[in-house]
Structure 1
Amino acid sequence: MAVGQGEFTHQKRPRSRGTVALLVLVAVGLTSGSWVITGPGDVRGELGQSVTVECQYGQEYRDNRKRWSKGDDYWSSSTVVSTDDPQRGRTSMTDNKIQRLVSVTIDNLEKSDEGLYWCMIESKRDSLLESPPISLKVSEGSRGITGPKEVRGELGQSVTVECPYGREYIDNRKRWRKGYFYQLSSTVVSTDHPRVGRTSMTDNKTERIVSVTIDNLEKSDEGFYWCEINILFNIAERTSFSFKVSDGSQTSRPDMVTTTLATIYKRALTTLPQNAPTTEAASSTESLGSILPNRDIVLNVRRVWGVLRWVLFGVLLLFPLSISCVTTFKRKKTAETLEMGSAVVEGGEEQRR
């Protein structure tokens, strides 16, 4: 109708309804024909990681050549890969003709990969049919270290916990600690000592994930754990979570019987559900979780303790200094008293003379 109204404003005599309908159909046909291949509008990735972009096309273009081009405008863009040349450097292309889906993957993302991209199809009339522009943004990724909030396992089974970290900490020492309060926790394993008893640690520097596995789970493995990255002396980045071990007698769904429970930042932080307990042992496990302090309370206690320990450190540091000052002051006063006494005695002797 927009075309028809435009025509009406420039013509003294309005066109017939049939003419207006024809113009609308032509406009719709041109518009729909220009997007025979579609793709996402915005794509985001992280430095050093991989990203895959998928573009859907029509049934009639299954056997046509497809291109992946980069540039601000599709007519001036340059071809990166195509179905004839599907691999160039870090970029690769696949064409699934059954699902009519062309996929492009860029590995080991760099900042220079940012920009506008186009999925294109070469038609039989030597013309290019392009998708809407696809904007790729590359971020620096997550910083610090993250991990799950809660992990569950079964007696006698194994469990693996994964903690992703920022690329700035690739070469730093990682530690796995156990203890409800961080200051009172103890190191179980580290990248320097990756295996102790049933617990082992691996550090995947490519994906920036530190993984800890506990084999043959026991009830004593329950508790509060910390994934930690050592930065400088006693300064560290860390994240904490609780770990519970059940006896496996309660009714569980198939998706709960898993030896690996890894909930990480890049794969969406999730908390595995737990069905209602059906045995007395399971009830005791639930009651154990109910008597633990609230997580917010624990964090507040840790903050208060962090302040108090520096206050105590200052007191211990100032105590010997204050003792030294008091001793020096007393010695000085004693010396002054002796001098005054000597002066009085000398004055008395002079008067007697």
Structure 2
Amino acid sequence: MRIFLVWTLFSGGWAVTGPTHVMAKQGSSLAVSCSYKPGYELYSKYWCRPRFLWFCFTYIAHTNGSEVTVTQDGVSIRDNHMARSFTVTLSGVTPSDAGWYSCGLSKTLWFNLWHNIEVIVSAGKAGLGTKQGHAMEPVTVLGTGRPQPGEHRGSQSGNKLLAGTETCWRLPWCKSG
């Protein structure tokens, strides 16, 4: 029985990966990229808000296993089999979009594989911000968006994830690759 429980919990462990935290300014668009291991290319991919025990009962957007872009209520999802990743784009982000989401793939009824992501929405208008009177330019950094030990997670406004890289504004917590 114990072996079955361990196998159930970890059989697809880490099959879906992505950032842990992403940020967007209110009114902007947010693109989040999640990757998956080989062998899952033809499975349906989804984006949802988990409810009870991190399970999703309805999907905000989902594919049917193809690479066709699907758009539902301002949220689009597109799978790229060659890159083994799918990208979810939220348009016109609002404060109500903040919270925890799951990007995942549907295996069977109760054995989906997923990765949890926190979406943080900052106040202000979308677009380039300023820091001490200078326009901030976006820089690309590699990583998951997680701050390293000792880094400050405070004012992380204006970043988004796309295709496995993090685009963020030049702030103290943001490191270029």
**TM-score over 0.5 for the pair:** yes
Residue 103 of structure 2 corresponds to 119
Q: Measure how far apart 1:33 and its partner are.
A: 1.9
State the AA in 2 paired with 1:267.
P
Structure in which a larger fraction of residues adopt strand:
2
Structure in which a larger fraction of residues adopt helix:
1
2:116 to 133, 150, 153: 133
Identical columns (%): 24
Within 1, Cα distance between the matches of 2:20 and 2:57?
A: 17
Deviation string, structure 1 residues 63-107 (Cα, Å, up to 9, x no partner): 111111113443244210011482012211110000100110112
- Paired residue total: 132
Is 1:41 paired with 2:20?
A: yes
Higher relative contact order (CA 8 A, sep 6+): 2
Residue 57 of structure 1 corresponds to 36
1:90 to 74, 87, 94: 74
Is 1:101 paired with 2:95?
A: no
Q: What residue ranges of structure 1 are gaps of 5+ in the alignment?
A: 4-22, 142-166, 168-205, 210-226, 228-237, 241-263, 269-353
**Bigger Rg, structure 1 or 2:** 1
Deviation string, structure 1 residues 124-152 (Cα, Å, up to 9, x no partner): x44442323211110114xxxxxxxxxxx
Give me the TM-score of the superposition, normalised by structure 1.
0.33
Q: What residue ranges of structure 2 are gaps of 5+ in the alignment?
A: 140-177
Is 1:265 paired with 2:136?
A: yes
Matches within 5 A, 1:237-276: 239=133, 264-268=135-139
Runs of 4+ in structure 1 off by over 4 angstroms are none
Deviation string, structure 1 residues 213-241 (Cα, Å, up to 9, x no partner): xxxxxxxxxxxxxx9xxxxxxxxxx837x
SS at match of 2:59: strand
| Preserved contact between residue 39 and residue 54 of structure 1 (Cα < 8 Å) | yes
Within 2, Cα distance between the matches of 1:129 and 1:35?
A: 12
Q: Measure how far apart 1:49 and its partner are.
A: 1.2
SS at match of 1:60: coil
| Preserved contact between residue 122 and residue 128 of structure 1 (Cα < 8 Å) | yes
Within 1, Cα distance between the matches of 2:11 and 2:17?
A: 11
Q: Measure how far apart 1:35 and its partner are.
A: 3.0
Change (3 A) 1:77 1:41: farther
Within 1, Cα distance between the matches of 2:11 and 2:45?
A: 19
Q: Measure how far apart 1:207 and its partner are.
A: 3.6
Change (3 A) 1:76 1:239: closer
Give me the TM-score of the superposition, normalised by structure 2.
0.62
Aligned Cα root-mean-square deviation (Å)? 3.0
Residue 312 of structure 1 corresponds to none
State the AA in 2 paired with 1:110.
T
| Preserved contact between residue 69 and residue 78 of structure 1 (Cα < 8 Å) | yes
Within 2, Cα distance between the matches of 1:72 and 1:41?
A: 17
